[in-house]
Chain A
């Protein structure tokens, strides 16, 4: 799936630049030691200004998902059907994403997933997607 590109120079460009290097980075507040998402001007937990970024584990669980039968973005016409989802990361934030590497009928809410990365139409900006955390993946993580 070749993803429509996020906008360069937008608030979250750093997130997508890091994805190109295989890292999931999220806004992180040093003051209260919590992640948040989407990026805010002030930490939504404690109000501190200018939250930084920190690498996250990329491990989480499916909070909700849906199968898009017909793509509305012309770029994705040939990729449909595909799965969109919210993944609840172990860091406590919820990411909008795609679930890849699984048959839609095998998915369920609460299913453990792990982050991986895919290219977008902009070669500098990649996007985090998620695949079921296989036993093998879990072994690697421990």
Chain B
């Protein structure tokens, strides 16, 4: 068993740091300080390749900048499931005796590091869009998710009001998070007044482009106990892949998040009932609804009405499963290639009882879900309080 012994996050949004490498340095120092460890203790460094910076082996570039020489310096490519993938790789490295302390950083500066237009265009060029089968038709990333939204509306009667409920709840959660990119609450009228981006998705259905991300430190659970720091156990992990491009998906309304969770639960001999919270990848409002259904927290086609009823609120009469208490990608922020790191850090903060105004009453176990591509590949972690 391994444990998360340190976390770090800076305010998401426009960073005043000079460049993406400075962000990595700050996060590394903060996470290690949180764990009571030093840079020289790191023997495995895992990163994602930021879109706002380019190194052949990004993790090795970060190690070079930090002035350390860990045995492992690997950059992991798994889209928005990279945080889960990196944690699982760290489990393997620590379990095999190769590493004692793994530092994981997922950070990007699409606002401060590059111009926004350049970023959006890059996303269309090399993002989840197929270079031959999809790109000639000019899709934007929001329009790919819009196709899923329209298909879901057609199949199940999902409405713009259901999408609005996701956006509004996420913003309310983010209003309680000091690091969130967008904290000002809005109502359903403001949702309907927001600009149409790719029908039926409006601006408030889309996660913002944010500078940010975070870092975590992992060591063996045994070592964590000796360190005497507040730590969170990594109980289990599961993954799935079904397609790379939406053109290759078997369905337009159901994907593989549930398969990843089933695999994680089976390894842990646990059931969905034993989870106290779910951090669900929500790059668009429709992603939250579809992933909640696929994860099995609500029947297929019923996530919209359930969300509107408050089933996924942090607390309340209707609450069944608190989700994205930090505001998700939609409002806490979406730091490009580092998307989903905020979900992992929020789960750890909740399990450590350090979530401030957002703290859940019952926070013993958490599920963290990440997704790469347009519902393409999924990663799930199950975390537990020591």
Chain A, range 70-129, C-beta contacts under 8 Å to B: 70-76, 79-80, 82, 84-86, 94-98, 104, 109-110, 120, 127, 129
Contacts of A10 in B (CB 8 A): 131-132
| A1 and B136 alpha carbons, distance in the complex (Å) | 10
Interface presence of A46 (CB below 8 A):
no
Q: Which residues of A lie under 8 Å from residue B121 when comparing CB positions?
A: 72-74
The secondary structure that dominates the A interface is mixed
| Chain B residues, CB < 8 A from A84 | 137-139, 143, 147
Residue A63, interface by CB 8 Å: yes
Nearest CB of B to A65, in Å = 6
Q: Is the CB of A4 within 8 A of B143?
A: no
Contacts A64-B150, A64-B154, A65-B150 given; indicate if A96 touches B143 (C-beta within 8 A).
no
B184 within 8 A of A: no
Please tell me if B245 contacts chain A, counting CB pairs below 8 Å. Answer: yes
Rounded to whole angstroms, the CA-CA distance of A4 and B130 in the bound complex is 12
Q: Are A67 and B198 in contact (CB under 8 A)?
A: yes
A135–chain B nearest beta-carbon distance, Å: 24
**From residue 118 to 150 of chain B, which have CB atoms closer than 8 A to chain A?**
120-121, 123-124, 130-140, 143, 146-150
Taken together as a complex, chains A and B put the C-alpha atoms of A16 and B135 apart, in Å, by 13
CA distance A98 to B134 in the complex (A): 10
| B150 surroundings in chain A (CB, below 8 A) | 64-66, 109
Q: Is the CB of B147 within 8 A of A66?
A: yes
Q: How many A-B residue pairs have CB under 8 A?
A: 110
Task: Confirm or deny: B248 has a beta carbon within 8 angstroms of a beta carbon on chain A.
Answer: yes
* In contact, B199 and A82 (Cβ under 8 angstroms): no
Query: Does B252 touch A at the CB level, under 8 Å?
Result: yes
When each residue 2-28 of chain A gets 1 if its CB lies under 8 Å from chain B and 0 otherwise, what string results?
011111001111001000000000000
The reply to whether B132 and A11 form a contact with Cβ atoms under 8 Å apart is: yes
The verdict on A68 contacting chain B, using a C-beta distance below 8 Å, is yes
CB-defined contacts of A31 to chain B, threshold 8 Å: none
Q: Is B72 in contact with chain A by the CB < 8 A criterion?
A: no
Q: Please tell me if A53 contacts chain B, counting CB pairs below 8 Å.
A: no
Residues of A within 8 Å of B154, CB to CB, are: 64, 109-110
Among candidates B136, B143, B199, B247, residue contacting A120 with C-beta atoms closer than 8 Å: B136
The 5 closest A-B pairs by CB, nearest first: A66-B146, A72-B124, A6-B132, A64-B151, A3-B136
Question: What are 11 A-to-B residue pairs whose CB atoms are below 8 Å?
Answer: A1-B138, A6-B131, A6-B133, A6-B136, A38-B245, A63-B151, A64-B148, A68-B139, A72-B124, A94-B247, A110-B154
